[in-house]
Structure 1
Amino acid sequence: MSGSIYDTAWVSLVSKTVDGSTQWVFPHSFQHIYNAQSADGSWQGDGSIPDAIINTMACLLSLKSHESSWNGGVNDIAPRAAKAASYLVDALQGWDILSTERIAFEMIVPSLMEQLEKYGLTFDFPQKEILLKLSKKKLAMVNFEIVYKHHTTVLHSLEAFAGKIDFDRLTHHLRNGSLMASPSSTAAYLMYASKWDESAERYLNHVIDQCQSYGYGAVCNVWPTTVFEFSWSICNLFESGFDASRLDKECLDRIANILYDSLAAEKGIIGFAANVGPDSDDTAKALTALQFLQKPFSMDPLIKAFELPTHFQCFQFERNPSLSANCNILIALLRASNPAGYENQILKAATFITSEWWTTEGTVEDKWHLSRWYPAMLTSQGLVHLLYLHGQGLFPQISDDLLKVKIPTTLFTIIVRILQSQRPDGSWGEGGSREETAYAVLALANLSSLPYSELIREQIATSVSLARSYLTTSNAVDNLHIAPADYIWVGKIGYGVEHVCNSYIVSALNIAVPLYEPSTVSVGAPPIPVSKVESFTKFYGRLQMYKGFPKWRLVAWIVEGYLYLPELARVRLDVFDRDGMKKDPYFEYLPFSWTGPNGMEETYTSPQTIFDMIVISMVNFQVDEFFDLVVQKHGPGAIQSLKHAIGVICDDLEKGIVPKALPKAGTNGHSNGHSNGHSNGTNGTESEQKDSSYQDIHSRLSHFVNFVFTYPRIEYASPNDHGQLRREMRIYLLAHTQQCEDNVRLQAQEHFDPYLTPPSSYLKWVRGTASDHLSSQYAFAFIACLLGHSQNKAKGGVREDYFPTAEIKYIAQDCSGHLSVICRIFNDWGSMRRDREEKNLNATFFPEFEGRAKNKSDEQLKSELRAISDYERKTLQLSFDELLRVCQKTVGPAQGKRLHEVVRLFYNASEMYTEIYEFRDLSTWQA
C-alpha cells in the first residue's frame, strides 16, 4: 500500500513522558515529513488539492509542535512552517468543498484548523463557511455513546474528534493495538488517552517497519489489509479467465485457508483485515474468492447482517449506501453454488444498482473510490453476468422494466462513457492511471458481450487494443511501485495498493473480449434496426453540430436512443390519442435529440432525465397537433373555447388545484377524451354541440396539464420552480391560441405575403408568441423542476431552487430565450412550403421581409433568417460565458460547471432541431 504523509504526520505528533521529561516517540516519522516537504511548502500526496491541503495542514501542525524542541530548538522549522502556511493560504482559495470525496475530511480539516489556531495560524477562504456547516451537520449526527459501546467507523478517524470524545472510554475497541487499523487514529488515541498503551505503541512501530520502502518513519493509510488484498486479487484473476492450473496451488490453498478461517472466526462477516469490524464489501469479495478457490462459505451471514429493504448496507449505522458494495454483493451471490436460491436478494441488488445509474445526474461515483470507472467496471461485471445466467433460465421473476429498459440502457450508457473518455495514449484517468485503464478494459470485455453492442464492437476492440498497448509500453506489470495517478482508493487521503493494482492490470491483459458469447446473454431490449441506424448516421452526420465527430460516436448515440424507444412507445398515447393525424415523423428523431447532445459534450445527464425530456418533447409535438386539429375540426370559433379552457385550468393551477386526468380506456367514464355529447355535429342542438366541443377541448387540455403537473419526478421541485412552470405553461398554451388567431387572420387575406395585420414587429413576435409557441421556455422550466426534484430528493426532501440565485435564474432564462428564438427561426425555415400551402403564419410573411413585394426567392429569405439567427447566436454565447462565470463564482467550480452544462444540454437539444429543420420538416400534416 502507498505511504501516507497525513498518517505519518499524526504518528510524528505522539509524545510521552519518560523520567519527568517529554519525548517524541517516533522521531523518524517527523524526520520523514521534514524531508518530504516540497519546494512550494506543501506535501502533495496524490497531487489533488484536497490531499495537498489535508497533508499540509497535518504536517504544519507537526512542524509547529516540534519547532521549540527539535534539535534543541536549533532548526529551520520556522521558515518551513511559514512556507507551508503560505501554500495553504493560496491552495484553500481554490478548494471546491462540495466536490471533495475523502473520509471524514469535513471533520478532520476543521479540527486541524482549531489546533493550528493555538499557534496563531488562521485561514480564511471562499468556502470556509460551507466546510464549517458540513462539519457541524456531521458532528450533530455522531452519537458518542454509540461509539463508546459499538465498533463503528468513527473509530477510524478519532483524530478528528480531539477535545470532543473521551478517549479513555475507547480502550476496549483496540484490536491488536490499533483502532480500526488506522495509524492516525491510533496515534490520536495515544496522544489523548490518559493512560499509555504499550500495544498501540507496538502497533505503530510494526507499521513503520512494514513501510520502510517509503522511507524509515513513514506509515501507510491503513494496516493491515490482508483480507482486502487477498480477496480483490483472487477475484480479479479468476473473473478475467485465469484457470487455477496456471497459478501457484500452494499459494492459493494458503489464501483460501486464511480467508475461510477469518470468516469462520468472525461468524461469516469480515472487514478488510481480521478484527477491524465487518463490512459487506470485504465480506462479499472474500466469499467470491472462496467460490473461485473451491472452498465455499455460506452467504447467509452476509445477507442477515447487511440486507435492508431496498439495498445492502456496507457498514452498520452508515448514512448513505455504497454502490460498489452492492455490486460486489451481486457478484458474490451470482457466483454462489445455488444462485437461484438468492433470487430475491440478487434482484434487489440489481434494482438498486441500475437505479443509481438511471437516476444519478453527472458521473456515477462511489464513496470508497475516486475513479468513476471502478463502479462502471463492477456494474458491468454484475449485470452482464446476471443477463448471462438469465439466458440459462435463471431468475424468472426479473421485471420487464429491469430487463427491457433499465439494464440495457444502464449498460450501454457505460459503454459510451468509457469509450468517449479514453485518452489519446490509450489510458483512462487523470495523468494516465494504469489501474483505471485496467478497469475500463475489464468493463468493455463484459459489455462487448451484449448483443446490442454489435454496431460498435469494432470500436470496442480498437479501444481495448490501444489500452493494452499502453499497459504494455508503460511496463505496468513489472513496475509494481504505485504512482500518484494510481492513488484512487478513498481514505482520509487518496491511496493505492500495489498487489491489487497489479492484479487488475494482469487481468486486463488476459481477459477475453467479449467475455461471453453474445448469443448466450439474455437481453430484453428489441433488436436494433441496423439499416435505420445507418440511415440516421448518414443524416445526422450532415448536421453542422456533429461534424468532426467519428462515425462510431454517432452510431453509439443513435443505438442508445433506440434503447429508449420501447418505453417511449408504451407511453406514446398516454396524453393525446392523435386521432385524425398522420404517422408522427418526429417519433424516431426524439431520443437522439437528447442522447446526441448528452454524449456530444459529455454532460452525463441521468438516463431518467433524458427519458423524461424525450417524453416531454414528444408530448409537446402532440400539443401542436392538438391545437391544429381543434381549429380544423371545430373552426375558428374554437379558439375562444381554447382560451377559456386555458384560463380556467391555469387559474385553478395557481390556486393549487390540478385538473383531473381523463379516465383510462376500459374504466368507467370516457377514454380518449370524448364526452357523451354529440361532438360530430350530426345530432343535438347547436348549443349542445358547442357545449360538447368545449367539453372535449377542456377535458383533453386538462389531461395534458394533469400529466405535466402530476409528473412523479417533479414532486420535490421547489415552490419557486413549480411556480415558474405554472407561469410558462399558461404562456405556452396562450401562445398557441394567438398563433391560431394569426393563422385565421392570415387565411382571410387574398395573399399570405405580406401579413397585413401583424400583432407587432417581427422582433417582438419572434421573441414572444412565436418562441413561446415552440415550448422551449416551458420545457426549460420543466427540466429545472426535474433536476431540482432529483437534487432535493438526494438531500432528504428539502425544497431548494435548482438555479440558486436570482442572477443565475435570470441568465439561464435569458439563454433559454435566445435559443427559443433561434429554434423558431429555423422552424419557419423548414416549414416555409407547408405554411404557404396551409396559410400558417411564418416569419417570412412579416412586412419586414418584403418577400412578395420584392419577389424574393426562398434562398434570399432563408439568407435573411440565417443572418438574424447568427446575431442571436452571438448574444447567446455571451450569455453562456456569463452564466459559467457567475455560477462558478456563486456555487463553486464543479457545481457551477454542472449548472452551465445543463443549460448547454438544453441548448444543444434545441439546436439539433434547428439544424434538422434546414433539411426536413418534422411537423405532422393532418390526414
Structure 2
Amino acid sequence: MDASIDRRNQNTPAYKARELIRTLAESLDTPYHGSSFMTKSVYDTAWVAMVTKPSMAADGDRRRRWLFPECFQFVLESQGPDGGFGTGPSEVDGILNTMAALLALCKYQDSLVTDGIPGLDDVAGRITRGKEFLDHALQCWDVQSAMHVGFEVLVPSLLDLLRYEGLDFHFPGRAALMALNKRKALTPLLEADPTQLHSDDLDSKHLSRLCDFLAANLQNGRGVVGFAPNVLADADDTAKTILCLHLLGRDAECDQMIEAFEEEGHFKTYDLESNESLSANCNVLLAILSSKSPASYLPQIIKALAFNLEPQYCMMLLAQALVGALKFWGSNPDDVVGPSLNTLVGDRIPLVTLQIIVRTLSAQDGSGSWKESPEITAYALLTLEKLCDLPWCAPAGLDIHIREAISRGTRFLEQAVISPAVIWVEKVTYGSSILSEAYCLAALHYNVRLNPWDDKVRALLQGTFPSGENLNGFTSFFSRLPIFSNEPQWRLRASIVEGYLFAPGLRRALDNLDIFQYKEPEAEGGNNGKDYLEYIPLTWTTCNNAASFGISSEILYDMLVISALNFQIDKYLEGITEDECLLSDGGVGFESIRSVIQTLFQDTQLPKGSSMGGAPVPQLEPLLREMTDTLSRFIAVVSEHPHVSQASPHARRRLLRQLSLFLQAHVTHGEDSAHMRGQSIQDDGEWMPFKGAQDRGSSYYDWVRTTSADHTSCPYSFDLFTCLISQPWDVSGSQPEDCFSSTSQARYLASDVRQHLATLCRQYNDYGSVKRDHAEGNLNSIDFPEFHRRQVHYNIREEERKTQNSFYPMRQKNGHRNPALVDGVEQRRAELMEIASYERECLDLGLQRLKGLISGQTERALHVFVNVTDLYGQIYAVRDINT
C-alpha cells in the first residue's frame, strides 16, 4: 500500500503505529530515550521539590533556595480530603506518596528561609492530616502481598527520615517489613516497562534505528539490559529486547539472559527480589520460544512453564507464552520434547488456558470494555485473540462467546479516547502513554486466524474432556439448583469442563497417597463406586468461578484432594464400624477404636505413630492394627501439609482437635447405627424412633450440632481451609493467627458459621439419603423421637420462598407442601427441611455479620467454601452421591 494514500486517513491503526514508531525513534536523540512518556508521580515529584541550592542574600547572609517551587506546589495540590497524597490503585502508592510528601512538608516547616516557595499558613494542619492518613494506611497494610519494586528498602528509609522529623509510626506489618529489609542491600532497583512492536506495514527507517538501539544496548550490557542504558539489568527488559529483535529478523542470543536470571525453580527479575514475577517468567519463555533452536533450551522452557498488577496483563503474557509452548510441543516428536514437557503440557496448558479465558470473559462489563480502560481492554482482547482457536474452546462452547466478546471490546476500543492506565509497577504505580497506545493499536490490528493445530495437540482432548452427553447433562442438572440460579450458562458449562480437567490430577494424587488399602465395591453401571470423583472437581470449579474466583488453583486442588479423602474415609470407617465383632463383650470393640484414635492425637500436636491403646478383644487385633496404619497415613496428609506446618500453634491444635472429633464422630455414629439396627421395626416397615439419644439424656438438637455435625467433615475441613487461605504464621506475633482472628468477634462468628454450615449440610444429607440409610441401617435425622411425635402440614412463608438459596424439593409451585406426602417418612422429611431452613437463616446472618470484619479476599474464599458445602447439600437432596 502507498504510504501517502494511507496518511490521508490518520485514524487507521497502521498510520498510528508508524507515528508511534517515529516518535520512539526520535526520542533516541533526547537524554530520556522514551522514558518521558510515563505519568507524573507524587513520590518522585516530592523528592525533586526538596532540592535546594545555597545562595547569597542582599544582606550578605547565606541562604538555601528551593529550586523547584512548581514541584512543591504540585505536591500540595495532590493532597486529598482524607489527608493522603496521590493515593493510587494500590496500598503502596498511597503509603509511599504520602511519606515523601510529608517529608517535603516537614522540611518546609523546619526551613528558616523558604525562598522560591509561597508562604503557607496551614502546614501543620496538612502534616497532621497526612500523618493520620498514613497511620491508618500502615495499620491496614498487608506487607506480604506488596509487589512494588524496592518497597522493603524505601518504606523503612522513609520511616527513619520521618521519625527524625518527629513523626513515628507503629503498625502490625512492621516486623515482616523489616525482615524483608534485612534481605536486601540498599541498591536502587527499577522494574521493566515492556512494550511491543507489532505490524507488517511500518516505517522501516525508524524501525531499523530502534533495532540498532536495542541491539547496541544488549551488546553493551553483555547480553542483558535494564529499563534504560546503564541501569540495573532485569529479566523483563532483557527478554523483551531479545523477543523484539527476533521478531524483526535480528539475531540475539538467550544464553547470557539465562545465565544471569535462572534460579533453581524459576527465573528471577533481578537479584534479591522480594516476590517472583509471573511476567518475567512469561517474557523469558517467549524470548526462548522465538529463538532459532528452542529445543536446545528445553530445561529452561519446562522451568518457565512450571512456575506458576494488573492481572489482565499477566494473563495476556501467560496466554502468549502457553500458546507458543503448545505450538513448539505439538510440532516436535516426543523424543525431542521429552516426558517432562509431555506431562507438563498435558496437565497444565488446557486447564490454565481455559481458566484464563473464563476469567477474562467474566471481567468484561456491559460497555464491552474491561474496567472502562482502553489499555486494559487491549490486554483482554490480545488475550482472547491468542486463545480463541484453541481446540478445546469449541467443545466447551466458548468459541462463539469469545468472538462476541472480541467484537464488543473492539467497538469500545475504536470509540475510546486512549489515555494511560496507572497500572505499571515501579517504586509507585504509574502509567505510560506510549505503552497504552502501543497495546491498543496491537489489539485493533490483530486478526483472529484459525491455526492448523497438530493432531498431537488435538489428542489432548481424549480422555480428559467430558462427552457432549455428560457435559449437557451436568450443565442442565447444575443450572436447576438454586445456588446457580444467576450463573451464566456459558460459564457454568466452562466450569464443568474445568472440573473435568482437574480430575486426572486428582486421581493421580489419590493413587500416589494410596491411603486406603481396599478396593471399592462395584456399583451399578460399572463405575466402581466412584461417582464422587466425578462430582468433586465440578463442585469446586463451579462454585469458585461463580464466587469471583475466590481461591487459587493451588488451594482448589488441595481441597479437591481433601474432599475426595473425606468421602473415602467415610466409606472406610463405615465399613469398619459395621463389623459385628465390635458389638461383642458389651461394645468393647468401639472403645478400642476410640482408644486408637485418641492415641494418634496425643498432646493434640502430631500423630504419634501406630501404637494401640486399650485392651481389645483378640479377634479385633488385626483390624485395629490395619486401621491404625491407615488412619496414621490419613492424619499425616492433613497435619503435614505445608500450610498447616506454617500455621500458628493454636490454629494447628484447633485443626487437629476437629480432625480427632471427625474420626471419633464416625465411631459414635457407627455405634449408634448398630444399636438402632438392633431395635424392633414398626408394622409399616420403618425403624422405631432411635432410643440412644434419650438413654443418654440428649436430644436431636444436641446430636446434630455435635456428633452429627462433626461426622460431616465440615468443621475440620473449614479449619484446614482457614490454614490454606491464611498467611504463614509470624513467630513475632505481629499479625493475627489466621484470616479470621483479626478480632474476637470475627473469630467467634467464623466458628458459628462453621457450626451452622455443618449442621445444614447434615440435614440436607439426611433429607436426601433416607432411603439408603434405612436400607443400610444408618442413623438418620428423622429417626430421632422428635420427628415421630405428631403429624403437621407445613406451609412455606412467602419470604422463605423468595430466598435464593433455599431449597425445598417437596414444594409445589404455589409454595405449599403436597398434602399427599405429609404422612410417615415424607412428613418427617418435610419437618427436617423446615428445621434446615432455620439453620440457613442463622448461617446467612453469621455471614452477613462477618462480612465487615474480614478482608475482601478472605470473604471471597469463604464464599467458595460455604457454597461448595451448600452445593453438596443441594445435590444430596436430589441425588445421593455416596453410592
TM range (shorter): 0.7 to 0.9
Matches for 1:858-873 after TM superposition, within 5 Å: 858-873=825-840
- CA 1:513–1:661: 2 relative to 1, 3 Å: farther
Cα gap change, 1:851 to 1:509, in 2 (>3 Å):
farther
Native 8 Å contact 2:82 2:133 kept in 1: no
Quote the offset at 1:392 in angstroms: 0.2
Matches within 5 A, 1:583-622: 583-622=529-568
Query: Which of 67, 79, 82 in structure 1 is aligned with 2:122?
Result: 79
What amino acid does structure 2 have at the position aligned with 1:542? Answer: R
Letter in 1 for 2:262: E
After TM superposition, the structure 1 = structure 2 runs for residues 396-407 of structure 1, keeping only pairs within 5 Å, are 396-407=338-349
Residues 49 and 628 (structure 1 numbering): CA distance in 2 closer, same or farther, change over 3 Å? Answer: closer
State the one-letter code of the partner of 1:392. Answer: S
Q: Which residue of 2 aligns with 1:731?
A: 661
Are 2:679 and 1:755 equivalent residues in the alignment? no
Shift of 1:297: 1.4
Alignment of 1:779 onto 2:825: no
Question: Which of residues 905, 908, 924 is equivalent to 2:864?
Answer: 905
Shift of 1:92: 4.6
Q: 1:273 to 1:721 in 2, by over 3 A?
A: same
Distance 1:104 1:691 in 2: 62
Q: How many angstroms apart in 1 are the aligned matches of 2:362 and 2:503?
A: 23
Counterpart Cα distance in 2 of 1:350 and 1:538: 35
Shift of 1:661: 9.4
Which residue type is aligned with residue 398 of structure 1? S
Alignment partner, residue 270 of structure 1: 225
Unpaired runs of 5+ residues, structure 1, are: 148-153, 157-179, 181-221, 223-227, 357-369, 663-685, 888-895
The Cα of 1:274 is off from its aligned counterpart by 0.9
Using the alignment, how far apart are the partners of 1:134 and 1:735 within structure 2?
A: 40
Contact residue 598 and residue 605 of structure 1 kept, 8 A:
yes
Alignment deviations for residues 631-661 of structure 1 (CA, whole Å, 9 cap, x no partner): 5564653874454234224313326674779
The question of whether the paired residues in 1 share the 8 Å contact of 2:597 and 2:664 is answered with no
Q: Secondary structure at the match of 1:917?
A: helix
Mark the CA change 1:103 to 1:300 in structure 2 (over 3 Å): closer, same or farther. Answer: closer
Which one of the candidate residues 71, 89, 93 is aligned to 1:29? 71
Q: Separation in 1 of the partners of 2:759 and 2:838?
A: 11
SS in 1 for 2:531: coil
1:611 CA drift (Å): 1.8
- Residue equivalent to 1:883: 850
Partner of 2:569: 623
3-state SS in 2 of match to 1:461:
helix
Aligned mate of 1:17, from 34, 40, 54: 54
Are residues 806 and 88 of structure 1, via their aligned partners in 2, closer, same or farther at CA, if it must alter by over 3 Å? closer
2:774 to 829, 836, 843: 836
Q: Does 1:232 align with 2:195?
A: yes
Q: Provide Cα deviations, 1:754-807, integer angstroms capped at 9, x if missing partner.
A: 22343521100111111111111122233234445x745999xx9965654683
Residue 208 (structure 2) pairs with residue 253 (structure 1)? yes
* Superposed CA offset, 1:217-270 (max 9, x none): xxxxx9xxxxx66x6232xx2xxxx32xx1111111111111111111221111
Contact preservation (8 Å) 2:108, 2:114? no
Cα distance in 1 for residues equivalent to 2:725 and 2:257: 36
Q: Is the 8 A contact 1:40 1:84 kept in 2?
A: no
Instruction: Tell me what 1:97 maps to.
Output: 141
Structure 2 residue aligned with 1:559: 497
Equivalent position of 2:104 in the other structure: 62
Give me the whole-angstrom Cα distance separating, in 1, the residues matched to 2:317 and 2:401.
21
1:450 to partner: Cα distance: 2.9
Q: How does 1:525-540 map to 2 (within 5 A)?
A: 526-529=463-466, 530-540=468-478
**Greater alpha carbon shift after TM alignment, 773-782 vs 17-26:** 17-26
- Aligned partner of 1:434 in structure 2 is 374
1:803/1:809 contact within 8 Å kept: yes
Q: Which amino acid aligns with 1:724?
A: R
Quick check: 1:419–1:460 contact (8 Å CA) kept in 2?
yes
Q: Which residue of 766, 774, 786 corresponds with 1:848?
A: 786
Whether the 8 Å CA contact 1:409–1:564 is kept in 2: the answer is yes
Q: What SS does the corresponding residue of 2:337 show, helix, strand or coil?
A: coil
Alignment partner of 1:811 is 2:713: no
Give the residue type in structure 2 aligned to 1:257. Answer: D
Task: Check whether the contact 2:594–2:667 (CA below 8 A) recurs between aligned residues.
Answer: no
Residue ranges of structure 2 left out of the alignment (5+ in a row): 1-37, 57-61, 524-528, 793-821
- Which of 294, 297, 302 is residue 342 of structure 1 equivalent to? 297
Indicate the residue corresponding to 2:428 in structure 1. 493
Inter-partner Cα distance in structure 2 for 1:391 and 1:420: 29
- Given candidates 302, 307, 310, the residue that maps to 2:262 is 307
The aligned residue for residue 159 of structure 1 is: none
Q: How many residues align?
A: 775
Using the alignment, how far apart are the partners of 1:270 and 1:799 within structure 2? 42
Give yes or no for the alignment of 1:918 onto 2:855.
no
Partner of 1:580: 521
**Which position in structure 2 is the counterpart of 1:822?**
760
Q: Deviations over 1:81-136 (max 9, x none)?
A: 6346425524653563215544344554565565556666x476xxx423543553
Q: Is the 8 A contact 1:660 1:703 kept in 2?
A: no
Equivalent in the alignment of 2:797? none
Distance 2:878 2:599 in 1: 40
Q: Residues of 2 paired with 1:877 and 1:410: CA distance? A: 33
Matched, 1:44 2:86: yes
Q: Distance in 2 between matches of 1:866 and 1:39?
A: 52
Q: Which residue of 1 aligns with 2:44?
A: 7
1:564 Cα deviation after fit: 1.1
Select which of 432, 438, 448 maps to 1:503. Answer: 438
- How far apart, in 2, do the equivalents of 1:561 and 1:735 lie? 30
Deviation at 1:434, TM superposition (A): 1.7
Tell me which moved more, 89-98 or 459-468: 89-98
Whether the aligned pair in 2 keeps the contact of 1:329 and 1:349 (CA below 8 Å) is yes
Could you say which residue in structure 2 is the equivalent of 1:411? 353
Q: Which amino acid in the other structure matches residue 188 of structure 2?
A: L
The CA deviation at 1:435 is: 1.5
Candidates 313, 317, 335, aligned match of 1:374: 313
Name the CA distance, whole Å, in 2 between partners of 1:697 and 1:601.
39
Structure 2 partner of 1:465: 407
Farther off after superposition, 503-512 or 105-114: 105-114
1:141 aligns with 2:183: yes
How many angstroms does 1:400 deviate by? 5.0
Cα displacement (A) at 1:745: 2.1
DSSP-derived class of the 1:22 partner: strand
CA drift at 1:289: 0.4
CA distance in 1, matches of 2:574, 2:80: 71
Match of 2:320, as an amino acid?
Answer: Q
Cα deviation for residue 343 of structure 1 reads 0.9
1:549 matched to which residue of 2?
Answer: 487
**Secondary structure at 1:17 match in 2:** strand
Q: CA distance change for structure 1 residues 828 and 38 in 2, over 3 Å: closer, same or farther?
A: closer
Change (3 A) 1:56 1:555: same
Distance 1:880 1:448 in 2: 39
**Displacement, 1:300?**
1.2
Matched residues in 2 for 1:863 and 1:390: separation? 57
Q: Relative to 1, partners in 2 of residues 1:842 and 1:503: Cα closer, same or farther, differing over 3 Å? A: same
Between 843-852 and 815-824, the greater mean CA deviation after superposition:
843-852
Show the counterpart of 1:644.
Answer: 592
TM-score, normalization: structure 2?
0.80
The TM-score normalised by the length of structure 1 is 0.77
1:654 alignment partner in structure 2: 602
Q: 2:252 aligned with 1:288, yes or no?
A: no
Find the residue that maps to 2:340 and give its secondary structure. Answer: coil
Summarize the Cα distance change of 1:579–1:2 in structure 2 as closer, same or farther, 3 Å threshold.
Answer: closer
8 Å contact from structure 2 (residues 757, 843) kept in 1: yes
Is 1:351 aligned to 2:312, yes or no? Answer: no
Percent identity between the two aligned chains: 32
